[in-house]
Amino acid sequence: MREQEELEELLLRDYGCIVLFLDPVLQKKYYHGFCREYLAPIMHNQMHVTQDRDPFQKDEWRAYCSVSKLFADKVMEMYSGVEMIWVHDYHLLMVPSFIVRKIHLVKIGFFMHAPFPSSDIWRTVAVRLELLRSLLNVDLVGFLMFEYTRNFLTCCKRMLALEYEYQKGGFLGIEYEGRHVILQVATFGISPSKVESRLLAMASGKTKVLGSDAIEAACRRAKRVVSAVDYLDRLKGVAPKLLAWEELLTEYQHYRNGYVLVQVCVGARNRIQIQTAPAVEQEIRTIVDRINEAFPGAVHFEVRDQFGPDERLRLWCNSDALLTTSLREAINTTPLEFVLARHLAKRPAGVCVLSEFTGFARVLCGTLRVNPNSQTELVETLDLALNMSPDERQARAARDVAHIMRCTLEAFAARFLTELKATATKRAEDFVCVGFSLSKFRLIGMGANFKPLDNTETIDAFQRAKRRAIMLDWGGTLAPAADGSFFDKRDTAGYALPRNVLDALATLCADPSCHVMILSGLPKEKVLAAFGGVPNLSLAVEHGFKYRVGNGKWQTLGEGDDDYVGWRSVAQSVMSVYATRTHGAIVQEKGSSILWNYAESDPEFGYMQGKELQTTLQHVLADFPVAVRTGKGYVEACLKGVNKGSMAERFVDVLEADGAGALDFVLCAGDDSTDELMFASLNTKLGKENAKLFTVTIGRKPSEARHYLDGHSEVVALLEKIATLGFAAPGNALGGMGAKSGGMGMGAKMSASTTNLAALG
């Protein structure tokens, strides 16, 4: 314990580093288990398909989450109002979720040092949503290459239905739960000043490089040296490299004398032994022994627990070429060290042969890129490198040196932190945490004025008002939202609402000063089956295509008519063609619109087909009073001006045009995206800050509404409460059942009402 305390003090004093000590059992499950055995192959695009046991172990996942929470707790111990927190790599993917549970105002950045896999690989992860949502709880996410960024965006689109957009400054952004998550593509470098100081120390004799005598002896004996330093990991591609070197010596006789491959393998990563190292080492030694038996001295092979920076720099200065053949790798700074070391040591420029699957192959323009899976290509590229003229080597190296000197590690860190600091400033009232489980937890941006509906304030405004309008969605607002099977039902008894809801609506509609409208996307017959027994209740069906005010006649909203000749058949025929060409897409007909739904299709292909369909429909329907619009997972052709927003405006206009005066209380409540049009229209028409307007969304989520309630039961409770109140007009009290039309005999008329809940509106 004393040793730990002394180590903590030393690291904090000399390096500003805070230590987190882990229990050995927890560390093994966390690092060797979940990180290295489960996540690392996934991140490098490797699927778990050959294991004898399930690669996902719940105890290892729990250990991963426990360590993430320990890191978050350690951050909270040191937190003193700092503005930014920077989290690194896949080992700490869950840390952001644990941090934002406790503090919302801090800006969090995350940089992924590993590759990010394709969506087909990521979808095999047992906890894919937990990890994705945690990563989206940050403000800035950085990746080394655009390829990895693209993979991440595809995963977000396919698994969370999130879209992205390009922004000024070369950024990509994802709109997630009312927050804007910025994506950055940036490659870090090394510190040239530190490399130079190490080289000067070695040249002056201040630093002695121990343990490299055998390597230096091999280099001195050789005419040309090709070198490599890799971990003992199959993904580093050491075996393919040796096989290519063997073929080069076999096919080209002049390379058999004086050409040496120096291969150093490191068996520990961050001083932690690589579990697969012994098996990989045995495989490599078999190949090395075979090569040296046929071509003595052609390969110098060493395995080290560590191979420090001074040893690497000495090796680079003695080498003519660097050969890296990783099968999948994001970060490997050895090419940067090789190029810079030879430049600073005034040695002739060398040649870098890099696998195209390593991150810096895209960054260093002077390198020779190679596919390590093609032995023929490897051999040909090695031959090209070893025969390259000094002038070409120098020209290639000059370009890379300029990049290395410009894009340093310090410049990368400064840029990332500058961009993190530039993200939107947070305020506590703008955010709320939703969800308890790791797969559901998320930080939601609400907006400064978004708050829970104050029932007392609402009731007071209702009592003071003389003319009131209430607009309500159906499913999810007056009753729980049902599943999609509701839309296929034909038994109207299945649409019945709970009696207490109908009683409250009937009481409200019974008074001349209170006007209530139900707005639904369902057909007329289904809405009437549920609400037709409530006198004076205004109804709008199919998003307002048809409506009635009170007990009045049914009217049509929009420029066209339901039977407008031609447009429906044209739209339906075009959509059917695209549905045939797009697996999972279907055509859905409604009274006022036709929908091409690709929610069950491949998201990217469906989106591409949808954009093309939108263009085609706009062209063929140009002469009809029809609008073509798109949303998440659908393309819709509908009559112009038909939506819940237009219907809400029409309802207000009709009520205020009857000569009885302006409305002084408007309550509008809904739960889905179509209801957002109501909120937006009323905000524009009446003024968003208007004290008489109460727009309410159901559930905590980004919305055009100013208020929210947590569920439909709170809406029903509010309606029941105001239905028992007295009106502002003297002697006019709610609760009399016959104020507008005489008694309606609720017991008889509402006998069909049951506790069988209605479905989506």
- C-beta separation of 94 from 133 below 8 A: no
The string of DSSP codes covering 635-664 is EEEEETT-SHHHHHHHHHHHHHTSSS---S
What 3-state DSSP class applies to 435? coil
- The amino acid present at 73, given as its one-letter code, is D
- C-beta separation of 71 from 100 below 8 A: no
Strands of 707-709's sheet in order across: 451-452, 707-709, 693-698, 665-670, 468-472, 514-519, 538-541, 546-548, 555-556
Q: How far is CA 273 from CA 51, 305, 328, 461, in A?
A: 21, 8, 20, 70
Half-sphere exposure of 374 (CA within 13 A, CB side): 12
Half-sphere exposure of 15 (CA within 13 A, CB side): 8
With vertex at residue 43, the alpha carbon angle to CA 40 and CA 45, rounded to the nearest 5 degrees, is: 110
- Res 563: pLDDT: 46
* Count of CB atoms situated within 10 Å of the CB of 20: 11
Q: Which of 422, 446, 448 is nearest to 83 (CA)?
A: 422
Q: Which of 115, 185, 121 is nearest to 158 (CA)?
A: 121
Q: Domains, the chain, ranges and CATH? A: 2-188+420-445 (3.40.50.2000), 192-406 (3.40.50.2000), 451-558+642-749 (3.40.50.1000), 567-639 (3.30.70.1020)
Cα–Cα dist 92/86, whole Å: 11
Sequence-distant (6+) residues with CB within 8 A of 366 are: 339, 352, 395, 396, 397, 398, 399, 400
Strands 451-452 and 368-370: unpaired
- C-beta separation of 201 from 247 below 8 A: no
* Number of residues assigned to the chain: 761
Residue 285 tokens read as: 């030694």
Burial 491-519 (b: 16+ CB within 10 A, else e): eeebbbbbbebbbbbbbbbbbebbbbbbb
What are the strands, taking DSSP E only, across 535-602? 538-541, 546-548, 555-556, 586-589, 593-597
Q: Which of 96, 91, 92, 104 is nearest to 136 (CA)?
A: 96
Q: Which of 241, 264, 265, 230 is nearest to 382 (CA)?
A: 241
Q: Which of 300, 301, 309, 307 is nearest to 280 (CA)?
A: 301
Cα–Cα dist 465/729, whole Å: 9
Chain center to CA of 221:
54
H helices present in 205-237, as ranges: 213-221
pLDDT averaged per 10 residues in sequence order, the chain, 761 residues: 83 87 94 93 83 84 96 89 89 94 88 94 94 94 93 92 78 83 90 93 79 86 94 92 96 93 87 79 95 95 91 94 91 93 94 92 91 95 95 94 93 93 69 62 63 90 93 89 42 62 93 92 88 94 90 80 69 93 89 84 88 93 87 84 90 86 92 87 90 90 85 91 66 40 35 31 39
* Count of CB atoms situated within 10 Å of the CB of 243: 17
- C-beta separation of 71 from 110 below 8 A: no
Q: Which of 576, 583, 580 is nearest to 600 (CA)?
A: 583
Cα–Cα dist 653/69, whole Å: 55
End-to-end Cα separation, the chain, in angstroms: 64
The string of DSSP codes covering 329-347 is BS---HHHHHHHHHHHTTP
Cα–Cα dist 711/716, whole Å: 9
Classify residue 21 as left (phi > 0), alpha (psi -120 to 50) or beta.
beta
Eight-state DSSP code of residue 259? E
Q: Which of 496, 417, 424 is nearest to 751 (CA)?
A: 496
- The amino acid present at 112, given as its one-letter code, is M
Q: How far is CA 472 from CA 222, 256, 479, 505, 651, in A?
A: 85, 85, 11, 11, 12
Q: What are the counts of helices (DSSP H) followed by strands (DSSP E) for the chain?
A: 26, 29
* Count of CB atoms situated within 10 Å of the CB of 345: 18
Q: How far is CA 60 from CA 28, 30, 31, 392, in A?
A: 9, 6, 9, 51
Q: Which of 524, 167, 161, 188 is nearest to 333 (CA)?
A: 188
Sign of the four-CA dihedral 593, 598, 600, 603: negative
Residue 347 tokens read as: 């040695």
What 3-state DSSP class applies to 671? coil
Cα–Cα dist 317/686, whole Å: 75
- Res 117: pLDDT: 94
Eight-state DSSP code of residue 30? I
